[in-house]
Structure 1
Amino acid sequence: MQNRLILLLLTVLVGSNAWAGEAPFFPAFTINATLSKGANAVVRSEETVFTVNSTKSATEKVRRVVTVLNEEGKRHARLVLPYDQLIKVDYIKVTGYDAVGKKAKTLKTSDIKDYSNTSDFSLYEDNRLKVADLTSDVYPYTIEIEYQTTSSNMLFYSGWTPLDAEKLAVERASFQVTMPANMPLRYLEQLVPEKVTIQQVGTQQTYKWQVKDLAPVEREPYGPSFFELVPRVRTAPATFEVQGYAGTSETWKSLGEWQNKLNAGRDVIPEATRQQIANMVKALPTQEEKIKAVYEFMQNKTRYVSIQLGIGGWQPFEATMVDSKGYGDCKALSNYTKSLLEAAGIKSYFALIDAGDNNRTMLPDFANMQFNHVILCVPTAKDTVWLECTSQMADMGYTGSSTGDRYSLLITPEGGKRVSTPRFTAKDNSQTRTVQVKLNAQGGGSGVAVTNYAGIQHEDRTGVLQNYKPEEQLKWLYKNTQIPAFEIKNFKLDKVKDQPKLKEELQLELPRLASVSGKRLFITPNLMNRWNSAPTLQETRTHEVVWNMSFHDVDSVEYEIPAGYRAESMPQPVKIASVFGEYQAQVQMKGNKLVYVRQLTMHKGRHAAAKYAELVNFLKQVSRADQQQVVLAAETT
């Protein structure tokens, strides 16, 4: 009833022309309920116009009107616009309106903030941000944002994702690209309801996409990433030029040829360094040993700094500069290591890659610059060695969660080549643990847990060991050790030399290890690795089921039980198999020792939506098995 009264009042205000000569601007109450339901904000109108003037320049003009419905939608009322020496901001205009569409405020030019976008580990960087903020604490309200940018970095064209956040709806939006008639547009459509319309106007070709009435898209548990589920248009140049370097991106080969132009002549190292490398490796019998020696030489001599300069951030600094200064970014350090390997008689290749935990797919049939990092690839007779050149601590050949299990663009003398980095099996990412526990009749105890982590499972703890002081390491261990009640009396973290592995030792005090009831002790033998939950089963499942990581866990826990106690009740062995993984656990009495062994293996993969019920059932069974208890009873005399 209250909502109806508010709607009636707003209608009267608008209908009575409450502000003479001023029509209401996108009043909030006109939003269709099917769009506002579950939304934090609604895009009322958005027009993006990208105009390519030539292979050297383009402009982008955006007008966006968004109604913010609640606190969670506030970020949509804030414009953060990056720019640098190749991208200029021509203008920004921001106006705010209240719930019924009355103008509330226009942002002044002096209110638009300008910040450096330089990271803490950057040495040289010209990236900056324009920030226009017209947020309010009174909801709903509407923001109109207009801006234009001019770019001379024609390696990148504008893309379009009208539904660019969760819990966002769109009333209408359009994307227009205007090209010179002799420059065709390369584009890739994803889930766009209406295909592109193309028109020839004089000497220009115009491509246009539009959408309307897009309700919020909700991700499902263990589903694909959000940006796989929404309409999207990617665009890319056929021919382009950046600061005098012309190229084509119609194929991965041609994109690699352009990168070769940027790298040309920058791999020269001083003769003294060349001789040093040659002398260092001449007595080493294998190619792998030579690679390792050169890699460690580079790690000991250099450090990583971000340097976002040089042909839009894609041209490496000369190897001579890295050699003399002792620092560089991913491009410079990879180029320097390549030069050192060349001095050792070993061929290697620049590899462009999209690094990070999100592991976005490199589009196989749509060549464009979709990378953010550079590593080095070293082919050998036995295998291919991948080198992360930005870390003094990385193990030779280990790619890990940041650059492993994905495609890269190998820059060969013949051009670009799409090549996969190493893929991980479950046993590559293992956790093997043995725990010795002494239990007392009061339900408490003490123990020693020794865990060996490998692959992706070692990364967090290795980062803690390398970057935290001992007291910070202890705090981290308390936060990340899964025991209901415990005290760490002592700990030790040891990185295994030259391998992606770490050994952890914990001395533990366990005050509430078992529950006491009369003469009985109730104990959950799975001490440190319990699966505590499972997702809710959905009646209908729309999207694929995605499990993102393969791993293999083995836990062996041995309890020395108090004198005079025996096992009164023990769970039966459990064995579960699924397309998602395998689980087995069993507990036995061996003399005065209660021995628990558990193994869980999970396999990375994507499965049909119909497999979701199988995943839920598998995880529920694992969770139930992990919570099973053993009952120990005091023997009566």
Structure 2
Amino acid sequence: MRTLLLSFSCCCLFLLTTAIAKAGDPEYPAATIPAELKAGAHAVKRWEEVQFKLTGTGEARLINHYVITVLDESGAKYARMVEWYDKLRTIRSIHGVLYDASGKAIKKLKQSDVTDEAYLDGSSMVTDDRLKRHSFYYSVYPYTVEYEVTVDYNCTAFFPDWVPQDARDMAVEQSHLLVSVPLAYQLRYRQVLYEGAPQVTTEKDIRTYTWEAKQIKARPDEIMAPAWRRRTTAVLLAPSGFEMGAYKGSMNSWEEYGRFTYVLNKDRDVLPAAVKQTVHQLADGVSDPSEKIRVLYQYLQQHTRYVGIQLGIGGWQTFDAEYVANKGYGDCKALSNYMCALLKEAGITAYCTLVHAGEGQIAFESDFPSNQFNHMIACVPRGKDTTWLECTSAYLPAGYLSGFTADRPVLIITENGGKLIHTPAYGPLQNQQLRRLEAHITPEGNVQAKVRTISTGMQQDDLLQRLHESSREKLMEWIRTALSLPSYDVNRYNCLEQHDTLPAIEEQLDITARNYVAISGKRMFIEPNVLNKSSLRINTEEQRRSDIQRVFAYTDVDTVLLTIPGGYTVEALPKPTLLKSRFGTYASVALVKDSTITYIRTVQGNAGTFPASTFPELEQYYEGMYKADRGKIVLVKKE
């Protein structure tokens, strides 16, 4: 194996020497980029070769050599080199060259210009992850940068993915992926929007797979599109057998990957004697299992806090339950493991569960076992009453996951291996916003309103976070700018939380909207939809290319009661509107009785993936909603 590694190193040195030798030649003049690749692009990837070679069961090397021409200021972000490393991967070398528009080399990277800094991901507070960064800080467009970065892995659990087109506003002239593995090794890969099979060659005891992509044009911005990895050419790689430190595992199936994770964290759920005693004091007198889970989850929330700790293999192996008990903190793995240990002591079986967390679209390959996870939660399997616990939250109620981890595949880690299942999806009956607004219109055109809003499920997620993570001053600062009114004063604002498996928040709001009503002569013009107008208009002449993906299903019901000022009568009301589509249903109606106008608006939005061919229907639906939400009531002053 050492001979193989030496041969590979010599080969890489030859390639690097060749690349640097040519650095002074006009290799990449911007003028030679085809016009069709410049259209809609801010940068063009001229050439790329990604080499990944498995040099041993626990070692690998990645060489990423690429050339990017930046066409304008908006493409400058693609000219920056950023590479992360930790105890499981080491940056062996970085080389770079800057070219002007003609393709002439004008500057080479100096190692002293490469910054080395801690990697701060916004959640990890203790980590050995670091970043190396470099930029030529050049702004005479167009210009070209060339980089070659070599990274050595001493862990083979994570293979890189190949996505030639980094973003929709980048075009690609040509890109190659070369993956070399020993003949006896089973390389696992998943092709996305790639036609044909890779080229496979064999030399001695090494098998090499080659993929290539050419002439990929920039794409228009498309709303409600699937995750980028679903829309562009990609090859996803995953190991079969792998090593992480002293641990060996397999990803040939979810069951095997789960078994590896179980062994990695085995016997780390032993609680200190004092905590065991506390568990029994809290739970032994409780007969209802759901209540017992709630009590122990509340104990976790009150006595621990989330601190991201990512040190070496500790980024994947949990700190044990005694550590969390003594320190009072832990990362998602440590807190989930601790929660499972508390439940185990109370006689309740629970499992740590891997999940890819995050709001919005999640690109997950359920039939391609691999490390697609970035978070851990706890699962208490009880048939139809299965309880999910987000152990890093200090305020989510037991059994509620929020939009952060709901409705997606997860891997439960058991002593018998992993099992892929799905977290609950919150639909339009769970994600509701029910609002009642009672308002008085003054002769000056102001609106004095009392508003009561009940939000449930994912409709209350953002507000719940604000209530627990912002001060009262920050909360009031937000509410003074959050409403879609041109000018208003907040006279009173209060919130009442309802902690349940499906949480709810009731808001009580008193406002004065100044000059909301337009006055012209003896007429007043009022938009009865005061607080919930649709702002989305879809006007595009481009042909839709991507499927339409809507990840949030919801129900909004607005009831508005407007008391008109004395001396006025209703001259005109908006026409009733009913819009039905596969994307949702919209209805609005305005009625008048005596001096009170009642306006009712109901919207049910559907989640799902819809064919690109249905995009005209989506345009029509949102345009109809936009116009209906701005329908006006006309009042006329009595003679």
Q: Normalization by structure 1: what TM-score?
A: 0.94
Bigger mean CA offset, 228-237 vs 210-219: 210-219
Correspondence 1:223-262 to 2 at 5 A: 223-262=225-264
Q: State the partner residue of 1:161.
A: 163
4+ residue runs of structure 1 moved beyond 6 angstroms?
Answer: none
Is 1:511 the equivalent of 2:493? no
Q: State the partner residue of 1:566.
A: 569
Q: State the partner residue of 1:99.
A: 101
Deviation at 1:501, TM superposition (A): 1.7
For 2:92 and 2:196, the matched residues in 1 are separated by 31
Q: Is the 8 A contact 1:359 1:406 kept in 2?
A: no
For 1:382 and 1:187, the matched residues in 2 are separated by 35
Q: Is the 8 A contact 2:23 2:105 kept in 1?
A: no
For 1:39 and 1:626, the matched residues in 2 are separated by 36
Q: Is the 8 A contact 2:230 2:363 kept in 1?
A: no
Deviation at 1:223, TM superposition (A): 2.5
Is 1:475 the equivalent of 2:477? yes
Q: Secondary structure at the match of 2:429?
A: helix
Deviation at 1:131, TM superposition (A): 0.5
Q: Secondary structure at the match of 1:352?
A: strand
Q: State the partner residue of 2:52.
A: 50
Is 1:462 the equivalent of 2:468? no
Bigger mean CA offset, 490-499 vs 47-56: 490-499
Q: Is the 8 A contact 1:162 1:231 kept in 2?
A: yes
Q: State the partner residue of 2:16.
A: none
Q: Give the % identical residues.
A: 35
Q: State the partner residue of 1:615.
A: 618
For 1:429 and 1:388, the matched residues in 2 are separated by 19
Is 1:604 the equivalent of 2:598? no
Render the CA deviation track for 1:342-393: whole Å, top value 9, x for unaligned. Answer: 0111001111000001341321211001100000001125411100000111
Bigger mean CA offset, 490-499 vs 562-571: 490-499
Q: Is the 8 A contact 1:361 1:407 kept in 2?
A: no
Is 1:546 the equivalent of 2:564? no
The one-letter code of the counterpart of 1:573 is P
The one-letter code of the counterpart of 1:54 is G
Q: State the partner residue of 1:489.
A: 491
Deviation at 1:120, TM superposition (A): 5.7
The structure 2 residue matched to 1:522, chosen from 494, 517, 525, is: 525
Is 1:582 the equivalent of 2:572? no
Q: State the partner residue of 2:7.
A: none
For 1:85 and 1:21, the matched residues in 2 are separated by 33
Deviation at 1:495, TM superposition (A): 2.4
Taking only aligned residues, the RMSD between alpha carbons, in angstroms, comes to 1.7
Q: Is the 8 A contact 2:88 2:312 kept in 1?
A: no
Q: State the partner residue of 1:452.
A: 454
Deviation at 1:544, TM superposition (A): 1.6
For 1:255 and 1:120, the matched residues in 2 are separated by 28
Q: Secondary structure at the match of 1:628?
A: coil
How many residues in Structure 1 have an aligned counterpart in Structure 2?
Answer: 617
Q: Secondary structure at the match of 2:403?
A: helix
The one-letter code of the counterpart of 1:40 is H
Q: State the partner residue of 1:175.
A: 177
Render the CA deviation track for 1:532-556: whole Å, top value 9, x for unaligned. Answer: 3421254733322222211100111
Q: State the partner residue of 1:85.
A: 87
Q: State the partner residue of 2:188.
A: 186
For 2:631 and 2:342, the matched residues in 1 are separated by 57
Q: Secondary structure at the match of 1:331?
A: helix
Q: State the partner residue of 1:555.
A: 558
Gaps of 5+ in 2: 1-21
Q: State the partner residue of 2:444.
A: 442
**Cα–Cα, structure 1 residues 464 and 436, in superposed 2: closer, same or farther, change >3 Å?**
same
**Cα–Cα, structure 1 residues 632 and 123, in superposed 2: closer, same or farther, change >3 Å?**
closer
Deviation at 1:194, TM superposition (A): 4.6
Q: State the partner residue of 1:17.
A: none
For 1:444 and 1:69, the matched residues in 2 are separated by 51
Bigger mean CA offset, 52-61 vs 218-227: 218-227
Q: State the partner residue of 1:274.
A: 276
Q: Is the 8 A contact 2:178 2:209 kept in 1?
A: yes
Q: Is the 8 A contact 1:193 1:211 kept in 2?
A: no
For 2:364 and 2:379, the matched residues in 1 are separated by 17
Q: Secondary structure at the match of 1:401?
A: coil
Q: Is the 8 A contact 1:362 1:370 kept in 2?
A: yes
**Cα–Cα, structure 1 residues 626 and 347, in superposed 2: closer, same or farther, change >3 Å?**
same
Correspondence 1:284-299 to 2 at 5 A: 284-299=286-301
Q: Is the 8 A contact 1:361 1:406 kept in 2?
A: no
Deviation at 1:395, TM superposition (A): 1.2
**Cα–Cα, structure 1 residues 402 and 66, in superposed 2: closer, same or farther, change >3 Å?**
same
Q: Secondary structure at the match of 1:403?
A: coil
Q: Secondary structure at the match of 2:210?
A: strand
Q: State the partner residue of 2:595.
A: 592
Q: State the partner residue of 1:335.
A: 337
Q: Normalization by structure 2: what TM-score?
A: 0.94
**Cα–Cα, structure 1 residues 21 and 170, in superposed 2: closer, same or farther, change >3 Å?**
closer
Q: Is the 8 A contact 2:525 2:634 kept in 1?
A: yes
Deviation at 1:224, TM superposition (A): 2.2
The one-letter code of the counterpart of 1:634 is K
Q: Secondary structure at the match of 1:311?
A: helix
Q: Is the 8 A contact 1:431 1:552 kept in 2?
A: yes
For 1:115 and 1:128, the matched residues in 2 are separated by 6
Bigger mean CA offset, 393-402 vs 569-578: 569-578
Gaps of 5+ in 1: 1-19
